Structure 1
Amino acid sequence: MRTLQQFLSDYGDSHRNPLNQWIHIICVPAILISTLGLFWLIPVGAWLPLSDSVAFWVNGATILGVLSGLIYLRLGWWVFLLMAGWFALSLWIILAVLGAGWSLLWLSLGVWVAAWIVQVYGHKVEGKKPSFVDDLVFLLIGPIFVSIEFVAKLGVPVPLALSNRNDHTPARGH
């Protein structure tokens, strides 16, 4: 498996345009949260012999969170903690939507489709295809990349930020 630096470098190769970066800073979290919202609707716990209170928490989103958490942990503790924060925020939003009585399906689906349309436009502006076309793992790298780039745009020195990299060549070793 590539290192985090290699993933970020490769991801950054198709995310150099400032407009595309801002589009991703907004749309990647929207896609992450809405994807988890859609996966939440897969009631795996209801299909298992679990109590209702436990079954509520065993669904596609929580299973996806645990599985992707293993990949994030492999990339580093701080990556795992960063993404655990994104997961917690996503769960808070999902539970707020459910608590408000809104349709998690239609809200998540609408946000998911709209955010992908805007991202496709961002890649049209960039002139490069999305990274995940070549490797689906980049779907998991996007939230890390935009978190780092957003913090860097706020003026915080972040060693892994694209703006701090002098080499604009693809990562080696893959």
Structure 2
Amino acid sequence: MRTLTDHLVSYARYHRDPRNIATHVLGIPLIVFAVTVLLSRPAFVVQGITMSPALFVALGVIAFYIRLHLGLAAVLAAFIVACLWVGAALAQAGTLVWLGTGLGVFVFGWVLQFIGHYYEGKKPAFVDDLIGLLQGPLFLLAEGLLALGWRPDIKAEIERQAGPIRVRESAQAA
């Protein structure tokens, strides 16, 4: 079983360019939202609870995050629950609204990802390990917190193994 630090280091190896990270800040949440929307059909009600493939996937993803870090999992779970709520509403709309929103947001999110990886000069992490699809949201949240001074030990380990976030040449000249 890999630790939180192991997962963050693994993902960081593919994400050291600030332009790549910037595209991921928008792209990853959009993809999570879109997948939730797309998996919100079919839906069925059991004892007043609306269930869909999105709910079952969300529960598995949240369990993965809980195993790594309860606090990070709570923040990510809140985002996922919000996506489930909006996804359920869109799933009740017409097929064109549900599918158009889900696919449109999904494609846009991935376009952003691939633009970022163009700047990075590396393929996305999930190409080598599908767990990279779960590491992305975790990495974004952790990177934001690390930038604020949370867990300097983890930040140091990421930089030791994956290197520091690269500084662009134009920023160095200034």
Q: TM-score, normalised by structure 1?
A: 0.80
Q: Is the 8 A contact 1:17 1:126 kept in 2?
A: yes
On the 8 A contact 2:146/2:152 being kept in 1, the answer is no
Matched, 1:149 2:158: no
Q: Distance in 1 between matches of 2:161 and 2:106?
A: 31
Kindly provide the amino acid, as one letter, of the partner of residue 111 in structure 1: V
Alignment counterpart, residue 103 of structure 2, candidates 74, 93, 109: 109
State, as a whole percentage, how many aligned pairs show the same letter.
31
Q: Distance in 1 between matches of 2:19 and 2:153?
A: 16
For structure 2, the residue ranges without an aligned partner over 5 or more in a row are 163-174
Query: How many residues are aligned here?
Result: 160
Structural mapping, 1:54-133, within 5 Å: 54=49, 57-95=50-88, 97=90, 103-133=97-127
- Once residues 152 and 74 of structure 1 are traced to their aligned partners in structure 2, the CA distance between those partners, rounded to angstroms, is 20
Distance 2:29 2:127 in 1: 19
1:20 aligns with 2:47: no
Closer, same or farther: CA 61–98 of 1 in aligned 2, 3 Å: closer
Q: SS of 2:150's equivalent?
A: coil
Q: Which amino acid aligns with 1:110?
A: G
Using a 3 Å threshold, how does the CA distance of structure 1 residues 161 and 108 change in structure 2: closer, same or farther?
farther
Q: Which runs of 5+ in 1 are unaligned?
A: none
Could you tell me how far apart the structure 1 residues matched to 2:92 and 2:153 are? 37
Q: C-alpha displacement at 1:97, in angstroms?
A: 4.2
Offset at residue 37 of structure 1 (A) = 0.5
1:169 aligns to what? 161
Counterpart of 2:143 in structure 1: which amino acid?
Answer: E
1:131 is aligned with what amino acid? A
> In 2, distance between residues paired with 1:124 and 1:81?
32
By how many angstroms is 1:59 displaced? Answer: 0.2
Counterpart among 150, 157, 174 of residue 158 in structure 1: 150
1:100 Cα deviation from its structure 2 partner: 7.5
The answer to whether the 8 Å contact 2:23/2:112 transfers is yes
Structure 1 CA distance, aligned partners of 2:83 and 2:12?
Answer: 25
* Larger displacement relative to structure 2 (108-117 or 71-80): 71-80
Tell me how far apart the structure 2 counterparts of residues 148 and 97 of structure 1 sit (CA, whole Å): 30
CA RMSD of aligned residues (A): 2.5
- 1:89 Cα deviation from its structure 2 partner: 2.1
Would the alpha carbon gap of residues 32 and 160 (structure 1) be closer, same or farther in structure 2, given more than 3 Å must change? farther
